[in-house]
Structure 1
Amino acid sequence: MKQDLPNVFKNEIDKIEVPEHKLNSAIKNGMEKGKKQKKRPSKNKKFLYLTAAALLFFSLLFGSAFIFSPIGTVASKIPYLGSIFETKGISAIIMDELEEKGYSLNSVSDSYIPKKEIEVNVMGSNDYYNSVKNDIKEDVQQILEAKGYDSYSISITKFKESVEPKLTTKQQKEKSVITEEISHKLKQSNYKFNTVDVDPMSKEIFINLKGSITYYNGNKDEVKKVAEEALNKTNYDGYGIQATHSTPIVIKKVEDIGSKITSVIGEGLLSKKKYKVTEISYTEEPLTFNIKTSVNSSDPSAKTLSQSIEKEVNQLMELKNVSSKLEGKSYKVIIYSKDDKKIN
């Protein structure tokens, strides 16, 4: 019988016998360290009060894994992706933790293109921003380390009020002509794109491409060339052209179990360097999870890596609260190499 994650953990922990002399020693050491830390002022008062208890728990659970053999069994029964399914996304977790500490924030976001990054956007004056940015970065780093996420860089930015400059009549015409000409040329060339955004003030053109990251990487250079050719026909010059792409995780409907599972797989595998995952997507009929990695198909480690990834996904799908929502629906997991070859 399948059990929910919290019950598996609790039931296994309850079975562990802890020698009394080691328990007393851990308590004493934790309390002594807690007393020492209380003497030092810190903004993380709540953390200090929890230190002794936390040291006791984690020293018994992880530090004593070789002494208490059931510990390894407990850890193996908690699937990595399953633990993510039970919680909020990493951005929401970071936002809640930082707001609880009293920081004034505009937003927290995680992105995977062009690099894996957590961005925290801070409200307030320049003095406030400068006084908290380093502390916020440290706090975010601690959260990521606690989750075992090692692929993110951290960016702390200051919120800026959006003041949309008014375009002159001449600039409005320039924008309209360029947008129409480039859009027309891209459609003629059968490129898939969402928008063409022209900014006469900064002399920048942004073309947001549709499709997967593979499509983006394969077409971005040609799209820029086509846009440059179209721009030359307008008699307007001096513009920089950039091809952009949205997040690689495809989420179609919030209530759809496929999108929920995809977001969990995406966060879990993209957030750890060891999985070497660069893109996650899914199709509904039949339910298929497409996972792309950064290894070449000729790499000797490709097969082992694909087996590790597939095992994580299968363990997630076997959890009671996941399988019940699938209602017997079958699924496939396809793992691709950097050179777009199936490796599982």
Structure 2
Amino acid sequence: MEKNLKAAKEYYQQHYYHEDISNRIKQGVIQSIHRKKRVSMGKRIFYFSSAVIAAFALFIGLAFYSPAVASVAAKVPFLKMIFEFKPVADIVSEALTKKGYKHEGMGVQYSPTKIFTVTIKGSEAYVDKVRPDVTRIVKEILLAREMDAYKIKVERAIERHDQQPTAKEKALMEKQEQIFGIVRNVLISYGYEHESIGMNAANTIELNLPKTETRIDEIKQQIQIKLTEQKLGFHTINVRKYDPEKREREGRWSPIISTIADGIFGSKKFKVTGVGYTNRSAEYMMISIRTSVSSKDSDYKRVVTNIENTILEFLTSKETKAIIKDDAYKITIISKDKKETVITSD
């Protein structure tokens, strides 16, 4: 089985996956994530759609309906299957395209009801006509992946007409792009090619740099000099410092947390209502899982045990351990009445 998985993974990486696709998917995810998601510097609460897995997970790209893949999938643990096989959003997209249905996108809502939404291009009459077949296709794919917690909603894609920027808006965008170019070049000269650059409504330039950087004042001064030379005016420059070791750890854990969330959110048996994590602790990665069961419910122990066993099986697998290395972790499963079950790496 391991040989088959490895060969399939290599096939997909050679034929389908590359960085541009990853970046486009990430941008799409950012734009489509549920509007109620809240983000803070130390803690993030995630409402994952299957598309998130496309942005971060390892890929295996053999056809979903291939008998060979199906035989392998039957032997693969639940979360490992989600982690290593094609993202369900890709499978749905391919199935709809094969049937000739032009779709604009997909999204997942988790509150108050878990809904998997597909938007189809065409008239209202056309969408009404194809809705039963599209619903059937999506349902079959989700059930094949044990993602039975979703209601399926098929909507008509809203026609959008791109509004052209005014001359003033265009000039502002060009100026900002020039500023970003100057800032980017200065950062590159100091060895930072991939750090994010932002600008808020007050025209303050926002940078992220490691807390180990000792030349921050010099970098800010160089940026200001270059902006002045180009007659772009004076700008306040704010620098947010991050811990390089924690950032590296978070980067490695991202596909793991995404997989856990995608899997246990989508399956009814886990009764999960929320998944979050914090990377603030220096000692360990912390993950919290909220459920809809109370500690007094008759199925409480079964639900919690299911979650615990499924996650431990995934975290202790050879593939996952190669990514998270020797990182310590603490996972807290929280019942509706706040009772906690803790899993640790110790």
TM-score (norm 1): 0.51
Deviation of the 1:159 alpha carbon: 1.0
- Separation of aligned partners in 2, 1:290 and 1:313: 12
Give ranges in structure 2 of 5+ residues lacking alignment: 9-63, 164-246
Task: Note the alpha carbon deviations across 1:169-212, whole angstroms, 9 max, x for none.
Answer: xxxxxxxxxxxxxxxxxxxxxxxxxxxxxxxxxxxxxxxxxxxx
Read off the aligned partner of 1:338 and give its amino acid letter. Answer: K
Instruction: Report the structure number with the largest CA radius of gyration.
Output: 1
Give ranges in structure 1 of 5+ residues lacking alignment: 10-49, 62-70, 166-251
What is aligned with 1:6?
5
8 Å Cα contact 1:291/1:334 also seen in 2: yes
Deviation of the 1:303 alpha carbon: 2.9
- Paired residue secondary structure (1:343): strand
- Residue 121 (str. 1) matches residue 109 (str. 2): no
Deviation of the 1:4 alpha carbon: 7.5
- Residue 86 (str. 1) matches residue 84 (str. 2): yes
8 Å Cα contact 2:253/2:323 also seen in 1: no
- Separation of aligned partners in 1, 2:91 and 2:5: 19
Listed as ranges, the matches of 1:154-233 within 5 Å are 154-162=152-160
Task: Note the alpha carbon deviations across 1:15-49, whole angstroms, 9 max, x for none.
Answer: xxxxxxxxxxxxxxxxxxxxxxxxxxxxxxxxxxx
Read off the aligned partner of 2:301 and give its amino acid letter. Answer: K
- Separation of aligned partners in 1, 2:310 and 2:3: 16
Deviation of the 1:111 alpha carbon: 2.0
Deviation of the 1:321 alpha carbon: 2.2
- Separation of aligned partners in 2, 1:7 and 1:147: 20
Task: Note the alpha carbon deviations across 1:43-93, whole angstroms, 9 max, x for none.
Answer: xxxxxxx99x96x998xx7xxxxxxxxx9xx95x62111110002433232
- Separation of aligned partners in 1, 2:4 and 2:308: 20
8 Å Cα contact 1:282/1:290 also seen in 2: yes
- Paired residue secondary structure (1:83): helix
- Paired residue secondary structure (1:288): strand
What is aligned with 1:273?
268
Q: 1:258 to 1:264 in 2, by over 3 A?
A: same
Percent identical among aligned pairs is 30
Quote the RMSD (CA, aligned, Å).
3.7
- Residue 143 (str. 1) matches residue 145 (str. 2): no
Q: 1:8 to 1:315 in 2, by over 3 A?
A: farther
What is aligned with 1:342?
340
8 Å Cα contact 1:79/1:316 also seen in 2: yes
Listed as ranges, the matches of 1:231-242 within 5 Å are none
- Separation of aligned partners in 1, 2:69 and 2:103: 32
- Separation of aligned partners in 2, 1:154 and 1:303: 29
Task: Note the alpha carbon deviations across 1:262-320, whole angstroms, 9 max, x for none.
Answer: 22111211111111111111112321221111111223432332222111111111222
Listed as ranges, the matches of 1:6-85 within 5 Å are 6=5, 78-85=76-83
- Separation of aligned partners in 2, 1:278 and 1:132: 31
What is aligned with 2:290?
292
Read off the aligned partner of 2:257 and give its amino acid letter. Answer: T
Deviation of the 1:323 alpha carbon: 1.0
8 Å Cα contact 1:335/1:343 also seen in 2: yes
- Paired residue secondary structure (1:78): coil
What is aligned with 2:128?
130
Report the more deviating stretch, 313-322 or 125-134.
Answer: 125-134
- Separation of aligned partners in 1, 2:155 and 2:161: 17
TM-score (norm 2): 0.51
